[in-house]
Structure 1
Amino acid sequence: MRIVSLLPSATEIVYALGLGDQLHGVTHQCDFPENALTKPILVKPFIITNGLTSLEIDQVVSARLASGQPIYHVDQEGLIQANPDLILTQKICDVCAVSFDQVQKLEGIVNNNTKVLSLDVHSFDDMLSNIIEVGTVAGVENVANLLVVSMKKRLALMKKTVSELDYKPRVICIEWLDPLMVGGHWIPELVHLAGGVDCIGERGQPSKTITWDEFQQARPDFVLVMPCGFDTKQGKDHLADLMYRRGWDSLPGVDMNKVCVLDGNSYFSRSGPRLLDGLEIIFNIIHPDL
């Protein structure tokens, strides 16, 4: 089977299932595992964000979407050459990855037998289901089942530990710094599974913009900064967008030095197998004595 992935999390699923040799096209963001960097890049951004503040990035993206312009360019010639039997995409967010509308418009330039599979994740279980679905379509259902079983065993150990906890700290997960956004979909669930309480985010619901007053009123014990698409260095570079706000120093999590900048790009933005690593990262941060 010839596979094209238009989604970094899908690329990680493909490799986790041992299908790397069947992958014939990826996006500019597909950097894990390292072998993904050797694949033809079929998707690149129209927007260059280097040097822009969080607010400037948001403004540029919002203006482009408002005018009906795509955020990403898809190499149609490269896609034709890839000649995929299976295209992996998503329809949850037009900012994080190629929009589903774009993909649908491309279907005509590929052969009529190409299957387009949308991997739409709102929860941890959805991610596990996606692994099974990709494995089934690609003919490696047994491998997918074994992978999911092993991940569920790790999750069961976490749940057992959490069930014995008396203290569940209040946590806020920052998905974007300006405008201020908190993580949604699977992020609040990860906090819950890690033995915390997400102050604002709602499990299974989209990420949402909040006011600074709402942030302050939440009084988080921990502030986890995981900007969408940013690694740890990029997150730290943009942290000033939070630190200079009124009342920042008086927040419980700040006062107790419990502000953590995480690799959002690797462990939280992508709804793939490494969400389990992200869950364990959150647990170790909010329960440092265990």
Structure 2
Amino acid sequence: PDVVFTQDICEVCNIDTVCTETAVMKLSKQPTLVPLSPNNLQDVFECAITIARALGKEEVALNYLAGLQKKTDHILDQLRANRAPLKRIMLMEWIEPIYNCGHWIPFQIAAAGGVDMLSNPGGDSIVTQWDKILKYNPEVLVIAPCGFDLKRSMEEMELLTSKPDWTDLEAVKNNQVYIADFDMFTQPSVGTLVEGIEALACMFHPEIFKADENIAKKFINHSQSVKSFKSV
């Protein structure tokens, strides 16, 4: 390869820059290494430009990003036009132990009309105690374990539903618990993260936003997932 892109966000999900540097030393031709380590949503947009610049396609990237920006601007415009209330959210990146969300995900939540006061914007996700979640009492709960698709997440949900006072959560009482594909949140591709914002907007404010066919496949209400899982 002429160019190799690396990351240092999570050494569990993908190999890091140091490992990549060691590996490419064995190649007869040394490629250009381009590290990408975004911490927030704006960083992810800028990483897309960095990638395009390294490939000599900066103008293409700018046009692509402009289209994505229009999508997020449309969501914001609709939230303002409808005077949508700010929803109290929690998004879990892992179920056992429970991890809150970090890095760019809190910014996705904000762009969709919510706020996650248990999150760690721009930083790593961390273990969050159950009693803290009960006290926070989210209006909407989004379960998106890193690396899990919808089916795998459904299989793990009993770890949450069996916890003490699960049914006391406002999100549970009001049927506002959702399971979502991880790739809309924990994989920092600007296109998939914007899809995540669109999906979150549909979860937080279904009276305003309706998911298109593509987005609708990537999240499901927990009550629906229980029915579909039992029917399999």
Using the size of structure 2 for normalisation, the TM-score is: 0.85
Please say if 1:138 is aligned against 2:55.
Answer: yes
Post-superposition offset of 1:166 = 4.2
One-letter amino acid matched to 2:186: S
Measured in 2, the distance between the counterparts of 1:197 and 1:127 equals 20
Relative to 1, partners in 2 of residues 1:166 and 1:281: Cα closer, same or farther, differing over 3 Å? Answer: closer
Q: 2:214: which partner in 1? A: none
One-letter amino acid matched to 1:254: V
Please say if 1:255 is aligned against 2:173.
Answer: yes
One-letter amino acid matched to 2:95: L
Match 1:222 to one of 127, 134, 140: 140
> For 2:102, what is the secondary structure of its paired residue?
coil
Q: Is this contact kept in 2: 1:169–1:286, CA < 8 A?
A: yes
What's the C-alpha RMSD, in Å, of the aligned pairs? Answer: 1.3
Please say if 1:211 is aligned against 2:129.
Answer: yes
Measured in 1, the distance between the counterparts of 2:107 and 2:121 equals 5
Moved over 4 A (4+): none
> For 2:178, what is the secondary structure of its paired residue?
strand
Q: 1:274: which partner in 2? A: 192
Q: 1:195: which partner in 2? A: 113
Q: 1:117: which partner in 2? A: 34
Q: 1:29: which partner in 2? A: none
Measured in 1, the distance between the counterparts of 2:28 and 2:92 equals 42
Measured in 1, the distance between the counterparts of 2:56 and 2:23 equals 25
Q: 1:154: which partner in 2? A: 71
Q: 2:7: which partner in 1? A: 90
In the TM superposition, what whole-angstrom CA distance separates every residue of 1:18-67 from its partner, at most 9, and x where no partner exists? xxxxxxxxxxxxxxxxxxxxxxxxxxxxxxxxxxxxxxxxxxxxxxxxxx
What number of residue pairs does the alignment pair up? 206
Match 2:162 to one of 240, 244, 247: 244
Match 2:96 to one of 170, 173, 178: 178
In the TM superposition, what whole-angstrom CA distance separates every residue of 1:106-141 from its partner, at most 9, and x where no partner exists? 131124541111111212211111111111111111
Q: Is this contact kept in 1: 2:84–2:205, CA < 8 A?
A: no
Q: Is this contact kept in 2: 1:199–1:220, CA < 8 A?
A: no
Q: Which runs of 5+ in 1 are unaligned?
A: 1-83
> For 2:9, what is the secondary structure of its paired residue?
coil
Q: Which runs of 5+ in 2 are unaligned?
A: 209-232
Please say if 1:233 is aligned against 2:156.
Answer: no
Measured in 1, the distance between the counterparts of 2:53 and 2:19 equals 25
Measured in 1, the distance between the counterparts of 2:159 and 2:194 equals 29
Moved more, 99-108 or 225-234: 99-108
Q: Is this contact kept in 1: 2:100–2:120, CA < 8 A?
A: no
Q: Is this contact kept in 2: 1:170–1:196, CA < 8 A?
A: yes
> For 2:146, what is the secondary structure of its paired residue?
coil
Measured in 2, the distance between the counterparts of 1:145 and 1:166 equals 30
Post-superposition offset of 1:101 = 2.3
Percent of aligned positions that are identical: 26
Measured in 1, the distance between the counterparts of 2:131 and 2:28 equals 53
Write out aligned runs for 1:27-106 (5 A): 84-106=1-23
Q: Is this contact kept in 1: 2:24–2:30, CA < 8 A?
A: no
